[in-house]
Amino acid sequence: MVQAIIGANWGDEGKGKITDMMAEHSDIVVRFQGGANAGHTIINDYGRFALHLLPSGVCYPHITNIIGNGVAFHVPSFLKELQSLKDGGVPTPKILVSDRVQLLMPYHVLQDTYEEERLAGRAFGSTRSGIAPFYSDKYAKIGIQLNELFDEALLKERLEKICTLKNVLFTHLYHKPELKVDELFRQLMEWREQIAPYMADTQRFVTNALKEGKTILLEGQLGSMRDPDFGIYPFTTSSHTLAGFGCVGVGVPPTAVERITAVTKAYSSAVGAGAFVVRLDGDEADELRRRGGDKGEFGATTGRPRDVGWFDAVATRYGCRVQGATDVALTCLDVLGYLDEIKVCTGYEIDGQVTRDFPVTPLLNKAKPVYTTLPGWKCDVRGITDWNKLPKEAQDYVLFLEQEIGVPIRTVSTGPSRHENIFR
Ligand code: GDP
């Protein structure tokens, strides 16, 4: 059976922790989209790891970790992360990389960086890791699949074609140096040596695994609001962040997906550009940002301070709807113990009308939050694992969110570590 763990919001919901926890009972963990442009934080017996490209099952020796065909595969990031696991004393993980995955090339990073420079103040808040140019090239059919590194003549021909196109952009639009086919070819030959041991027909692997009754966990990156179709376009990422895309991004049948767990925090956080209706400013924001997550709300990949705000029920209800969530994992409940009262955004006011439906971007830009205020619990709930041990106000807060979202909250996370959870 296939289970997906995905983000209901803007990313950074705590998917890493939930995946790491659920991975324990899975045989295979799959990354199916995105690249090294966002990060998961997992904390286990070996220490604290920020994973960007590697699936969250890499710390369990019994798990096969798959980088699916839908990923933007950046070889240097992959090797660097493997090394950081080794340095942290983690036993060598089992990893397979799809032979159909496409390579995130050095010129994708350059193009992303040049474009953000060119746009200056009007930029999209890209992490400059080349994701948008990568996916543009993939759909323009000038990407390079990993398997193509093994046909040198074909590869050279492809590189010639790519460089002709890219160099028009690089020299005329960005006024930067030209790309050289030989240099790129040499780089790819080096990568070929390094990646060959991991390359596999992962679609066949997961098909066989399903026949054998194995459990596959699809691990989403970012969240619903960053989906290029259903998110806050154009302030989205360039690959689909929805559970449904998991079927494409590794090649499992849609009918095999039995459970879709949407992860959301007990408050909101977002990094990057685009409307964020519940954004707080000043001292209120500073305090929540400082207390949030396990080390404050700062991006796992970029270190950028995240915007923070109260729980956005409008965005989360929609985020769960487009994911087709069957249950919710609510993280970081422990963070809110310092508050006398807690607000929840239950509606958006747009042009004087209050709506509970998440709107398209031009309307979203005009939305103002409508809050409902609930009493706080004023104590530390960190590490509580029994629902009945939660203060009544904390229980009521969770129940209120559940009613607003309309999907059962089956897991409540009360701390960053693997075992700090309440199961309902
Ligand atoms: P992801 O990209 O969705 O995996 O999210 P990140 O890992 O980037 O951000 C979530 C942050 O919250 C990380 O620092 C986690 O260690 C932390 N975290 C996850 N669950 C909890 C929780 O229940 N309580 C606290 N305090 N921190 C948590």
**294 belongs to an annotated ligand binding site:** no
What is the tens place of the pLDDT at every residue in 167-216?
Answer: 999 999 999 999 999 999 999 999 999 999 999 999 999 999 999 999 99
Q: Would you state the pLDDT for residue 276?
A: 97
pLDDT at 125: 67
Number of neighbouring beta carbons within 10 Å of residue 375: 15
- The answer to whether 64 is annotated as binding is no
Decide the pairing of beta strands 216-219 and 28-31.
parallel
> What integer pLDDT is reported at residue 141 of this predicted model?
96
Pocket of ligand 1 (CB under 6 A): 7, 11-17, 38-41, 43, 293-295, 300, 331-332, 334-335, 413-416
The pTM score is: 0.94
Distance 56 CA to ligand 1 centre (A): 13
How far apart (Å, rounded) are the C-alpha atoms in residues 302 and 117? 17
In this predicted structure, the answer to whether residue 21 has a pLDDT above a threshold of 90 is no
Q: In this predicted structure, what is the pLDDT of residue 298? A: 84
Ligand 1 mean position, distance from CA 347 (Å):
26
* 294 C-alpha to ligand 1 centroid (Å): 6
Inter-residue contact 330 to 371 (CB < 8 Å): no
Sequence-separated contacts (24+) of 124-130 with Cβ below 8 Å: 124/234, 124/235, 124/273, 125/235, 125/272, 125/273, 125/274, 127/37, 127/38, 127/272, 127/301, 127/302, 129/35, 129/36, 129/37, 129/74, 129/104, 129/301, 130/35, 130/72, 130/74, 130/104, 130/105
Q: Which atom of ligand 1 is nearest to the CA of 56?
A: 4
Helix, strand, coil shares of the chain, percent, nearest 5, are 40, 20, 40
Q: Measuring CA to CA, how many Å separate 8 from each of 160, 226, 250, 328, 414?
A: 42, 10, 21, 9, 18
Q: Is 246 annotated as a binding residue?
A: no
* Candidate of 271, 294, 304, 380 to mutate for ligand 1, largest count of ligand atoms within 8 Å of Cβ: 294
pLDDT (0 to 100) of residue 213 = 97
Q: Which residues are catalytic?
A: 12, 40
